Amino acid sequence: MFNKQLFLTTALSFVLPFLFIITVEASNFEEYEHYINENNIIIPFYIDKEDYFEQLHFRMGTGLSVDHDVIIENILDDSQVHTKEKYGVTLSKKEEQEMDKRAKIQIEDAPKLRDFIYTNVDEDILGGIWVDQANKGTYVVNVTVKPNEISHIIKESKKIFKNNIDRLRFNWVENTEKELDEINNYINNNLTLETIKDLSIIGSTVDTKENKVEVVVSNLNNDIEKKVLNLFGNSKVYVSEEKIDETENEATRYQAHQLLMGGLAITNERNEGCTIAYSASKPGDGHFIITAGHCSQSNEKFYQASDYIGYTKYRSVSASYGADITAIRVPHDRITDWVHLSNPKDVRMQTRSVFSQFSQGERICKTGRTTGVTCGNVTRRVAPNSEYVQADYYSEGGDSGALVYYGTKIYGIHRGSYYTDHNNNNRMDEGEREGALFSHVEKAHNAIPISTSHIVLDYPY
């Protein structure tokens, strides 16, 4: 977990069960306010500004058209309202097909590509893999050699992407992933060294897209930035910040349900609220629903609506292992693979992500009790000073434990929002919101006696 100077806090997402109506703070959409003012855009009085900003956020993140007329047309298109359940915003039929195609590639082709590349490309020339969402979700393989030197690798990779060759690109870069990992590990393992402390360096992470290490400092100014670049090399590192905003809410998450679907609100016996991720079933051990580890205590009772549903059987909260998971033991007739998006039983989970086979830039969504369905991209496969995954979807208190997914694939368990507190104060509710953290499903289950093979998928009921 981040040290006290860079507070990657989890807004550890507790919320009293009756405080679920959320209004969007103006600051959350400051970036888009600036955008419409800069471009002299006038939002019609009959269009909800939040809907417009959510469209902008999604479109800027995926490379879809941000044309004003296109956005208005999509918001008003009742025939495509089902796309809001799938992707968080209303899309045209053509745009829906485009996003469906990206989802299929991400689920079917991308894991094969990643496995092939990391098995057959020498680490001394590999710069990593990332997804260019702004360019039709193109998968980019960074290498430090010219294409003719790895023609056989390119040829075999195109076979994997045979139906989507236009969505695969090999990109020449200066740094290998191995080199960047060495710099990143050096920084994070030597934060107490005077040379590091004097520069206010408090963490770092590898940015595959930029082919550099992002160095995080507590107080950024021109002098500090110059010294950091001189120390590690201008071509190796950079210093920057990120923001993200988005929100949604549905009341049916709080109603009583027989099937304990992902996305439903639950409450522990201390009256703190979290969200269900998915179900698991282990022969000889019992049936479970999964949520975040920080949502529970040992043997704690849980409730859905006002109904008692079960108690904590296993839990783990470990930044070093990337695990924040609780397994709540429940009756056998309450587990399911169904997930609540905008409504109960919107989609069924069919598969799960493998950590070695997903990349920075991949599209993901989360479905939580407070902000509903929000989507974004994986910004870091490993967040600074922890083993959690970093993403840019929006979340608030109460979303802890929410399912992180895409299409019908489980990616993990939402941990919380994280903040950079430039005043070095350990507060969970103040600071500059940077994004979200989640436990990858594989790492989370490695920390408890319930493996990923016990996750309920394609359930017959």
Report the helix count and the strand count for the chain, using DSSP H and E.
Answer: 11, 22
Q: Highest mean pLDDT range out of 212-216, 355-359, 389-393?
A: 389-393
> Which two structure tokens, joined as six digits, stand for 165?
């060759």
> Which two structure tokens, joined as six digits, stand for 166?
């236009």
Q: Is the pLDDT of residue 456 over 50?
A: yes
pLDDT at 125: 96
Q: Is the pLDDT of residue 22 over 50?
A: no
pLDDT bracket for residue 306 (50, 70, 90): confident
Q: Highest mean pLDDT range out of 97-111, 159-173, 214-228, 403-417?
A: 159-173
The SS3 call for residue 339 is strand
- What's this model's pTM, rounded to 2 decimal places? 0.59
pLDDT at 204: 75
pLDDT bracket for residue 214 (50, 70, 90): confident
The answer to whether the beta carbons of residues 114 and 129 sit under 8 Å apart is yes
pLDDT at 311: 96
The 10 Å Cβ neighbour count of residue 415 is: 36
Sign of the dihedral through C-alpha 193, 199, 200, 206: negative
pLDDT at 106: 87
Percent of the chain clearing pLDDT 90 (strictly above): 50
Q: Is the pLDDT of residue 171 over 60?
A: yes
Mean confidence (pLDDT) of the chain: 83
CA 243 to CA 245: how far, in whole Å? 7
The answer to whether the beta carbons of residues 227 and 197 sit under 8 Å apart is no
> Which two structure tokens, joined as six digits, stand for 301?
């009772």
Q: Highest mean pLDDT range out of 176-190, 392-406, 425-439?
A: 392-406
The SS3 call for residue 432 is strand
pLDDT at 420: 54
- Mean pLDDT over residues 62-87, rounded? 90
> Could you tell me the residue ranges of all domains in the chain?
1-22+247-461, 26-92, 181-238
> Which two structure tokens, joined as six digits, stand for 376?
């974004």
The 10 Å Cβ neighbour count of residue 218 is: 17
> Which two structure tokens, joined as six digits, stand for 334?
């309450």
pLDDT at 29: 64
pLDDT digit string, tens, across residues 101-111:
998 898 889 99
- CATH class of the domain comprising 1-22+247-461: mainly beta
Higher pLDDT, 392 or 196: 392
Q: Which residue has the tokens 């799960």?
A: 352
Higher pLDDT, 378 or 435: 378
pLDDT bracket for residue 294 (50, 70, 90): very high
Q: Which helix (H) or strand (E) holds 433?
A: strand 432-440
Segment among 240-254, 275-289, 384-398 with least mean pLDDT: 240-254
The 10 Å Cβ neighbour count of residue 434 is: 21
Segment among 20-34, 91-105, 230-244, 291-305 with least mean pLDDT: 20-34
Q: Which helix (H) or strand (E) holds 265?
A: strand 265-268
